A and B are shown apart, each in its own frame.
Chain A
Amino acid sequence: MSDLGFSFSLSQLWQVAGGQIILLIAGLVLIFVDLWLSTDKKPDHVATMGWLTALSFLVALWHMIGTEWTLNEIVLVDVFSADKFAIFVSAIVLMAGIFASLMSIGYLRNNKLVRSEYFILLLFAVYGTIAMVQSVDLLMMFIALEVMSLSVYVLAAFLKDDRRSQEGALKYFLLGSFGSAFFLFGVGLMYGLTGTVNITKIAQVLSTGPLLENPGVLVAMAMLMSGLFFKMALVPFHMWTPDVYEGSPAIITGFMATAVKAGAFGIFIKLLSVTFTPILAHSGQPEFQSTVNLAALAVYWKPLLWWLALITMFVGNLVAVSQKNVKRMLAYSSIAHAGYMVLGILAANDEGRMGVLFYLFAYTLMNMGAFGVLYLFDGQEGKAQTLDDYKGLGFKYPALSFMMALFLVSMAGLPPTAGFIGKFYLFAAAIKEGYLLLAALGILTCVIGAYYYLRVIWMLYMVEPSRDVVAGRVGVPSMIALIAAALGIMYLGILPEGLSQVANVAQQGLAMVF
Chain B
Amino acid sequence: MNAPILTYVTFLPLLGVLAILFIPQRSESGKNAIRWVSMVISTLVFIVSLRLYFDFDPDVVGFQFLEKYTWIPSYGISYFMGLDGLAFWLVLLTTFLTPITILSTWTAITKRVKEFQIAMLVLETAMLGTFVSLDLFLFYVFWEIMLIPMWLIIGVWGGERRIYAAIKFFLFTAVGSFLMLVCIIGLVYFHNQQTGELTFNLLSLYNTNLARMYEILFFGAFALAFAIKVPMFPFHTWLPDAHVEAPTAGSVILAGILLKMGTYGFFRFAMPLFPDGSAFFTPLIIVLSIIGIIYGAMVAMVQPDIKKLVAYSSVSHLGYCMIGLFVLNRHGVEGSILQMINHGISTGALFLLVGVVYERRHTRMIAEYGGICRPMPIYASIFFLITLSSVGFPTTNGFIGEFLILLGVFEVNKAYAVLAATGVVLGAIYMLWMFQRVFYGRVSNPKNEKLKDLNRRELAYLLPLVALVFWIGLYPNFFLSKMHTSVDHFISQVKISAEPESPGAVLEHHASVDKTPLSVSAAKE
Contacts and interface: CB of A to CB of B under 8 A. Distances in A.
A binds B: yes
Interface of A: 395, 409, 414-416, 420, 424, 427-428, 431-432, 436, 439-440, 443-444, 446-447, 450-451, 454-455, 458, 461-463, 496-497, 500-501, 504
Nearest to A354: B74
25 contacts: A395-B112, A409-B148, A414-B144, A415-B140, A415-B141, A420-B141, A428-B75, A431-B182, A431-B186, A431-B189, A436-B182, A443-B178, A443-B179, A444-B175, A446-B178, A447-B171, A461-B155, A461-B156, A462-B163, A496-B72, A497-B71, A497-B72, A497-B73, A497-B74, A500-B72
B181 A454 contact: no
Closest 10 A-B residue pairs measured CB to CB? A415-B141, A443-B178, A462-B155, A431-B185, A428-B185, A447-B174, A439-B182, A415-B144, A497-B72, A440-B182
Interface string B53-91: 000000000000000000111110000000000000000
Contacts of A428: 75, 185, 188-189
Contact of B181 (A409, A427, A455, A501): A427
B182 A443 contact: yes
Interface in B122-176: 137, 140-141, 144-145, 147-148, 151-152, 155-156, 162-163, 166-167, 170-171, 174-175
A1 B339 CA distance: 71
A463 B160 CA distance: 11
A388 B98 CA distance: 36
B145 A415 contact: yes
A414 B181 CA distance: 12
A406 to B, nearest CB: 11
Summarize B's interface: helix, strand, loop or mixed: helix
Contacts of A462: 155-156, 162-163, 166
Contact of A450 (B74, B171, B181, B188): B171
Contacts of A463: 163
A432 B76 CA distance: 14
Given A424-B181, A446-B178, A463-B163, A436 B186 contact: yes
B167 A447 contact: no
A284 B171 CA distance: 50
B: contact size bracket: 20 to 34
Contacts of A461: 152, 155-156
A501 B185 CA distance: 20
B272 to A, nearest CB: 22
A371 B429 CA distance: 57
Interface in B207-228: none
B145 A432 contact: no
B182 A454 contact: no
A444 B178 contact: yes
Contacts of A451: 167, 171
B380 to A, nearest CB: 36
A458 B169 CA distance: 14
Given A446-B178, A447-B174, A432 B163 contact: no
Contacts of B155: 458, 461-462
B187 to A, nearest CB: 10
A440 B178 CA distance: 8
Contacts of B147: 414
B18 to A, nearest CB: 14
A425 to B, nearest CB: 8
Nearest to A441: B182
A416 B167 contact: no
Contacts of A432: 185, 189
Summarize A's interface: helix, strand, loop or mixed: helix
A440 B112 CA distance: 39
Contacts, number: 79
A501 B182 contact: no
A420 B162 CA distance: 27
Contacts of B148: 409, 414
Contacts of B170: 450, 454
Contacts of B144: 414-415, 420
B14 to A, nearest CB: 12
A440 B145 contact: no
A139 B121 CA distance: 58
A93 to B, nearest CB: 25
Contacts of B71: 497
Contacts of A496: 72
A496 B71 CA distance: 9
Contacts of B174: 447, 450
Contact of B151 (A439, A444, A454): A454
A207 B522 CA distance: 56
Contacts of A424: 137, 181, 185
B10 to A, nearest CB: 13
B182 A427 contact: yes
Contacts of B152: 461
Contacts of A427: 181-182, 185
A428 B188 CA distance: 9
B71 to A, nearest CB: 8
A428 B187 CA distance: 11
Given A414-B148, A443-B182, A497-B72, 10 more contacts: A416-B141, A427-B182, A428-B185, A431-B189, A436-B186, A447-B178, A458-B163, A458-B167, A462-B155, A462-B163
Contacts of A409: 148
Given A415-B141, A458-B166, A463-B163, A444 B72 contact: no
Given A416-B145, A447-B171, A501 B178 contact: no
A436 B217 CA distance: 11
Contacts of A439: 182, 185
B381 to A, nearest CB: 38
A465 to B, nearest CB: 14
Nearest to B154: A462
Contacts of B141: 415-416, 420
Contacts of A447: 171, 174-175, 178
Chain A CB count within 10 A is highest, among B74, B144, B163, for B74
Nearest to A421: B72
B195 to A, nearest CB: 15
A420 B170 CA distance: 16
A416 B188 CA distance: 21
A372 to B, nearest CB: 22
A415 B145 CA distance: 6
A190 B489 CA distance: 64
B124 to A, nearest CB: 16
A446 B144 CA distance: 14
B318 to A, nearest CB: 24
Given A416-B145, A450-B174, A462-B156, A440 B179 contact: yes
Contacts of A504: 74
Nearest to A413: B178
B186 A501 contact: no
Contacts of B163: 458, 462-463
Nearest to B170: A454
A443 B175 CA distance: 8
Nearest to A402: B115
B178 A454 contact: no
Interface string B450-462: 0000000000000
Contacts of A446: 178
A194 to B, nearest CB: 37
Contacts of A420: 141, 144
A497 to B, nearest CB: 5
Nearest to A436: B186
A126 B137 CA distance: 37
Nearest to B176: A447
A454 B137 CA distance: 23
Contacts of A500: 72, 74
Contacts of B181: 424, 427, 443
A432 B187 CA distance: 10
A228 B167 CA distance: 37
Interface string B326-357: 00000000000000000000000000000000
A462 B151 CA distance: 11
Given A420-B144, A439-B182, A501 B74 contact: yes
